[in-house]
A and B are shown apart, each in its own frame.
Chain A
Amino acid sequence: MAKQYAYYIEGTKLGIVEKDTTFNNNIESKEFGPGVARHSWKSPQSSVEDAIEIKYSHSPDYFIKSTNTIITSITNWRSNGGFLQIKGGSVNYDTTLDVDNYFVLRNAGQHNGLHRIKEISNVDGTKDGITTYTKISGSSGWSTNQQFEETVTMYYSVDVISDEDYEVDLPSYLQKALVYYIKAKVAEDSLDIQAFEYFMKQYKKIIEKYESTRISGPRIISPGSHSIR
């Protein structure tokens, strides 16, 4: 059945609301009559699997070296002393991972991204729990609402920015923009505001020029569907 949704931002969270289209025929109710309740935005009226799709950009401050060096057995998470702990599959993770290694989680909802291993410890079996340095607020029990919704993919063949040999994972033209950005920050530290402004201008100019290289043909502004024609 077709539904109507909308969203709004509440602090750092995403608020999802749905239009209540149920017809309330209770003559005692203020919502009696056709269409009255239809102006009501309420919390989602039913559970739907995989319903929200968020497309977002993330910062490439890591590089996944091998996309088939993965673990897909992770199922649950909890807060272990304020740090994110994950487990699943009764696997001994100590055989493939080490403390201080980095890994990237995908399809992990709010836990997507880069994490660093703090400890590999026993949860249900031998070395089957991974505690990270990622701060998390949540229950310390393995509750059902702290299960991952999807099959989580853990990429553990990952290169992170840690030394001078790190190869920046960006197109070469945008790497030049980063040179200007760092020059600007160095100038700002030494209170050379004129140099800071100049380098930031160059940084933004390179990004704009790069963006233009991906658009071919003329740029035409067309009127909206409700405009006067």
Chain B
Amino acid sequence: MKLKEIMERVGITETGRAIAYLKDGIEELNVLFETHTNIERIDITKDKRFYNFPKDMVKVLDIRIKNHFNDKNEYRTIPRLMNKPVIKDEDGI
């Protein structure tokens, strides 16, 4: 369906407004139910605790790490800590 057809069904004529709402709607949809997924791999650096998420990420579906509870280079899902660790990151990077 083209944006023009969506605008006709809704009954609005302002294209800019329709584009803005369409983008919001697609993003909201991906929060509720993922339609497009991607996998990104990041290097772990020794003593570096914090890493950036990808810019286009809407929702995290899984976080896996190589060699977590195995030594076969398998990627396994890691748990989320309910409480932040008591040992502070030494260099804060």
Contact = CB atoms under 8 A, between A and B. Distances in A.
B3 A114 contact: no
Interface stretch (A51-59, A68-76, A89-97): A51-59
B40 A13 contact: no
Q: How large is the interface on A (under 10, 10 to 19, 20 to 34, 35 or more residues)?
A: 35 or more
Interface string A43-61: 1111111111111111111
Nearest to A163: B15
A112 interface: yes
Contacts of B51: 13-14, 16, 52
Contacts of B78: 5-7
Contacts of B45: 44, 47
A42 interface: yes
Given A7-B78, A53-B66, A175-B1, A58 B46 contact: no
Interface of B: 1-4, 6-7, 9-12, 15, 18-19, 21-30, 32-71, 75, 78-81, 84-87, 89-90
Interface of A: 1-10, 12-17, 40-61, 106-114, 134, 149-150, 161-168, 170-172, 174-175, 177-179, 181-183, 185-186, 203-204, 207, 210-211
